[in-house]
């Protein structure tokens, strides 16, 4: 059985440790980021989204390919992607408990994401 | 800038890049490029023509009254209590909280304030800061008590705190930066949101976050206004205009940015993360009581 992969985000005062499969999405709030996980919890960390992406790239197995950066403000876990509407500029995630998260993204980014998913499915 | 931030809003990137997942971005229409080139040529021709004709009357932006607002500190009531008048409202479905300091004078403070002194009746984090070369730096030009902390020009908006005057403006080459140094004043840069009652549309990103601003109302009073809803700069600035704000410059936003206010009854209202691990360059605009009345 494959060992679960954890994303570790650490500052001098605190540490956030999350399994890759628990990450629903991450969004940017200026110099900070919010990490939304399965179960409804949210972690607020003092790292920019680019820094979080770098940590994911370095810590989590690069073969996973389930986490995708969408534009400048979001990273989304494709495990939970259930809906895309390009002209409404909406994508939806559904966590295992059935809770739905609607996120906005640019039309061009959603077109590319939709094509990419259709290519690999 | 982190190389991972080299991405536009119209792009996607699989983390741990995999070539078989690469999708070419939608092709830009050819006529858009042609149109852009034509416009660029026309602009260049106009600039050359104006230069050759000896164009006169170009307004001096640094003194353009539209681009700045000067707020004169009103004479404080030596007997009056120092407190913050708090007003809450909803404009265009955006909740706004307005904090108007009474009998208090603004200044900048640098460094984490863990225990808020009682003489600071109103305060909020002011200039943004970010990580550069493994250390945190204030973003944009910053002067504290006449000492230059930073001199970059990354944002057009500015606020200068000089003796009894507060200047809010939108000028990359403002002389108030040097004046703050000469007069032991304070200066910081942020996004200008509202100027002369109009929303400033340039340099405003489309991201959503909790927003906060330093504002001059149409009745001339200086205040802080914020919202506890995640909105874009444009939505926030539009709501400020409709509320009656004449000029406004952003203050540090997001859920972590701290703001506190003491009302007339002495109750303190705090927003933001008070136990957050902020770096040493964290900075605040604070209002200090201007009198030592026994009622304070």
pLDDT-derived band at A93 (thresholds 50, 70, 90) equals very high
pLDDT digits (tens, 9 = 90+) for B93-134: 999 999 999 989 999 999 888 888 999 999 999 998 887 767
Nearest residue, CB atoms, A56 vs list B15, B26, B254 = B15
pLDDT, tens digit, for every residue of B178-224? Answer: 889 989 999 999 988 998 888 886 655 677 888 999 999 888 889 99
Split at pLDDT 50, 70, 90, the class of B165 is confident
CB contact under 8 A, A56 and B13: no
Does A116 contact B12 at a Cβ distance shorter than 8 Å? yes
* SS3 sequence of chain B: CCHHHCCCCCCEEECCCCHHHCCCCCCCCHHHHHHHHHHHHHHHHHHHHHHHHCCCCCCCHHHCHHHEEEEECCCCCCCCCCEEEEEEEEECCEEEEEEEEECEEEEEEECCCCCCCCCEEEEEECCCEEEECCEEEECCCEEECCEEEECCCCCCEEEEEECCEEEEEECCCCCHHHHHHHCCCEEEEECEEEECCEECCCCCCCCCEEEEEEEEECCCCEEEEEEEEEECHHHHHHHHHHHCEEEEEEECCCCCCCEEEECCCCCEEEECCCCCCCCCCCEEEEEEECCCCCCC
Q: Quote the mean pLDDT of chain B.
A: 80
What is the per-residue pLDDT across B49-97, written as a single tens digit (0 to 9) for each? 665 554 444 333 333 434 455 666 554 555 678 999 999 999 989 999 9
Task: Supply the ipTM of this predicted assembly.
Answer: 0.90
Confidence (pLDDT) at B87: 92
* pLDDT tens digit sequence for B246-271: 999 999 987 788 899 999 988 999 88
- Restricting to B residues 180-209, those with a Cβ less than 8 Å away from any Cβ of A are 207, 209
Burial class of A25 by CB neighbour count within 10 A (0 to 12, 13 to 18, 19+):
buried
Indicate yes or no: CB of B9 within 8 angstroms of CB of A28: no
Task: Note whether A46 contacts B277, CB cutoff 8 Å.
Answer: yes
- C-alpha distance from B97 to closest chain A C-alpha (Å): 20
The string of DSSP letters for A90-110 reads EEEEE-TTS-EEEEE--HHHH
Out of A28, A51, A120, the one facing B207 most closely (by C-beta) is A28
- pLDDT-derived band of residue B27, with 50, 70 and 90 as boundaries? low
Top-confidence residue, B73 or B8: B8
């Amino acid at each position: 059985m494959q060992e679960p992969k954890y994303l570790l985000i650490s500052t001098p005062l605190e540490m956030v440790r999350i399994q890759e499969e628990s990450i629903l999405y991450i969004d940017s709030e200026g110099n900070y980021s919010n990490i939304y996980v399965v179960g409804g919890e949210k972690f607020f960390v003092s790292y920019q989204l680019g820094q979080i992406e770098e940590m994911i790239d370095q810590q989590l197995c690069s073969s996973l390919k389930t986490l995708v950066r969408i534009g400048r403000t979001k990273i989304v876990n494709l495990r939970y992607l259930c809906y895309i509407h390009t002209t409404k500029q909406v994508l939806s995630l559904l966590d295992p408990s059935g809770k739905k998260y609607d996120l906005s993204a640019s039309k061009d980014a959603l077109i590319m994401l939709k094509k990419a998913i259709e290519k690999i499915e | 800038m982190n190389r991972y931030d080299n991405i536009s809003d119209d792009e996607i990137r699989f983390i741990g890049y995999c070539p078989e997942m690469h999708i070419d971005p939608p092709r830009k229409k050819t006529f858009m490029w042609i149109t852009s080139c034509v416009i660029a040529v026309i602009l260049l021709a106009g600039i050359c023509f104006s230069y050759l004709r000896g164009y006169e009357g170009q307004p001096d932006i640094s003194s353009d009254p539209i681009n700045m607002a000067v707020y004169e500190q009103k004479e404080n009531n030596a007997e009056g209590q120092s407190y913050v008048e708090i007003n809450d409202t909803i404009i265009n479905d955006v909740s706004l909280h307005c904090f108007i300091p009474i009998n208090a004078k603004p200044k900048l403070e640098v460094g984490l304030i863990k225990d808020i002194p009682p003489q600071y009746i109103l305060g909020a984090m002011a200039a943004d800061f970010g990580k550069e070369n493994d250390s945190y730096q204030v973003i944009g030009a910053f002067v504290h008590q006449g000492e230059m902390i930073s001199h970059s020009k990354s944002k057009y908006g500015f606020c200068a705190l000089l003796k009894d005057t507060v200047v809010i403006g939108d000028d990359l080459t403002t002389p108030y930066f040097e004046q703050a140094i000469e007069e032991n004043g304070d200066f910081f840069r942020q996004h200008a949101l509202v100027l002369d009652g109009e929303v400033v549309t340039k340099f405003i990103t489309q991201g959503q976050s909790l927003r906060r601003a330093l504002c001059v109302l149409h009745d001339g009073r200086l205040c802080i206004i914020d919202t506890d809803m995640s909105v874009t700069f444009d939505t926030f600035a539009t709501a400020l205009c409709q509320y009656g704000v004449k000029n406004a410059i952003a203050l540090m936003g997001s859920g972590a940015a701290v703001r506190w206010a003491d009302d007339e009854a002495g109750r303190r209202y705090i927003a933001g993360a008070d136990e957050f691990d902020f770096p040493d360059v964290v900075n605040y605009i604070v209002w200090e009581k201007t009198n030592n009345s026994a009622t304070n």
